[in-house]
Amino acid sequence: MSSGEQAPLLNGASEHAQQQEATHKRAKRVASGLLLLLFIGGLVVALWVFEDGLPSNPGKAARKILDRAPVIDGHIDLPILVRSLNGNNIDKVDLNGDFPGHVDIPRLRKGRVGGFFWSVYTSCEDSGVNFTSPTNSVRDTLEQIDVARLLIEKHSKTFSFATSVQDIKLAIFSKKIAGMLGIEGAHQIGNSIPALRQFYALGVRYMTLTHSCHNAFADSAGIFEPPAPVHGGLSALGVELVREMNRLGMLVDLSHVADSTARHALKVSRAPVIWSHSSARAVHDVPRNVPDDILKLLGKGKGKKDGVVMVNFAPFFVAAPGNATVEAVADHVDHIGNVAGRKHVGIGSDFDGINDVPVGLEDVSKYPDLFAELYKRGWTARDLVGLAGGNLLRVWEGVEAVARELQERGERPSMARYDKREDLPHEEL
């Protein structure tokens, strides 16, 4: 039979399938919209009730707030813990019980967690002077994405995989814990913007521009001492990377980056930004924390950009040895709230990626104690709802809006290539 004889039938079937798909999508959007209205309406009512009728006991007040507006943590390293303990064999992992480290389902529920980013981290490897020596970073990142998604699927009664703000709100409304993916360092994409696009397709929704090492895109802050700069901020390819992340709708994460990189990215990015797990340098002076002059760049108005700094619990970023406590972490939250504004601070614990923890914040079950401490300091219910996750969701919605605008006006995917690669021809950026 000729292709001409088949075409009318195929066209008819195709049109019918397209109509069915369009109808299904419309129904799904309507259902999702109704659920979101219920979620938002419930949150508005909750805020009204909170302001008028919170318990005087800080612990009870914190738990009441988090029952309605649960914690969304910007950075948890559960996948790398599973890699180191179990070789990524999910058959050996049961998060329903007492799992080693700082995270399991009973403790997540006790801590009033509504979602968290599963960091799909792989360590910096020596990639040579020009970052072109072969490493296993891309392979290992794919494996970490795989283990995170498989664990979310294995525990699907608890977790719901999320790639958008709407997904997170629907998960919370359904009493599940949203699971999102974040890459912790652009060294993990192999100098390749096309690789970034494929990681986005797999569900990754933020990428930290560096880890503790420089890469082809940007300079790092290191850990305790900043290394000598290579690019002086973003490279030309790094500018292209940030612009492509904006086009895709991927959150630009400035934790770990050099101050010069943060300032450069804030100028270049057309969308809001995040620090997924960073604290305040004025409170504890280490390069990994955010200095006040950069905090002052967050907000609205000329020369400012919306963003959220999600406070890290790692003791060596919080206080001098032996002084990391829940109160010390609250000092960081307070300081960021005072300098940048309380709409620009969130939670990014770094649990399961740190060997030590602050006294009073031993694991994910302890989040309410931090909120109780801030409530004692005068933080309102509205402030604490923002800290718990509302500020992150606002920023993410801004990122999604920018991506929609860029795509609707026809911005094309970046074809930029790293000029030190010898396997492909390249053009000047």
| Euclidean distance between CA atoms 49 and 46, whole angstroms | 5
Largest CA distance in the chain: 80
Give the rounded distance of the alpha carbon of 314 from its chain centre.
17
Which residues are known to be catalytic? 75, 77, 184, 211, 256, 277, 350
Measured CA to CA in angstroms, residue 337 lies from 75, 127, 292, 386 at distances of: 19, 39, 11, 11
Q: Which runs of E-coded beta strand occur in 200-286?
A: 204-208, 251-253, 273-275
CA 64, distance to chain mean position in Å, is 25
Sign, CA dihedral 46-49-50-54, equals negative
Give, in order, the Cα–Cα distances in Å from 203 to each of 163, 198, 250.
6, 9, 10
Q: How far apart are CA 314 and CA 102, in angstroms?
A: 12
User: Which of 361, 362, 363 lies closest to 371 in space, CA to CA?
Assistant: 361
CA 221, 223, 224 angle in degrees (round to 5)? 105
Backbone angles phi, psi at 415, to 5 degrees: -105, 15
Q: Which residues of 213-235 are buried (b: 16+ CB within 10 A; e: fewer)?
A: bbbbbbbbbbeeebeeebbebbb
Q: Strand, coil or helix: what is 74? A: strand
